[in-house]
Structure 1
Amino acid sequence: MTEIVFLVEDDPDGGYTAVALTESIFTQADDIETLEEMVRDAVHCHFPNEQRRSKIIWILL
């Protein structure tokens, strides 16, 4: 896999949520800048093996 796409939505409780479209990855944060960091961290946790990890992460706002 060379890329992974996340869909970002407003969270009803405040902040934002991000859901990967092709993997079971979900994260949330209070602001977009923090959400970007959380997405990268979630991808690293989901794919601990760097060789299997996506090289490109798309965040669709």
Structure 2
Amino acid sequence: MLKTVKVCLPASDVVERFTNTVDSIFKRLNVLEQENQHLTQLRDWLLPMLKNGQVTVA
């Protein structure tokens, strides 16, 4: 049954542009995830010190 299904394939330049765009998006996503993890670690380190008065905000 699947042998009779026709599938349209995009032109190679369209595939290449799509791949480049998606690759760029995923690279940016990875950078943002790493940045978010780092900020979470900083928050978890700093917040207790703010609460107990070891650090003040000026």
Bin for the TM-score computed over the shorter chain = 0.3 to 0.5
Greater relative contact order (Cα < 8 A, sep 6+): 1
Higher helix proportion, which one?
2
TM-score normalised over the length of structure 1: 0.35
Q: Which has the larger radius of gyration?
A: 2
TM-score normalised over the length of structure 2: 0.36
Higher strand proportion, which one?
1
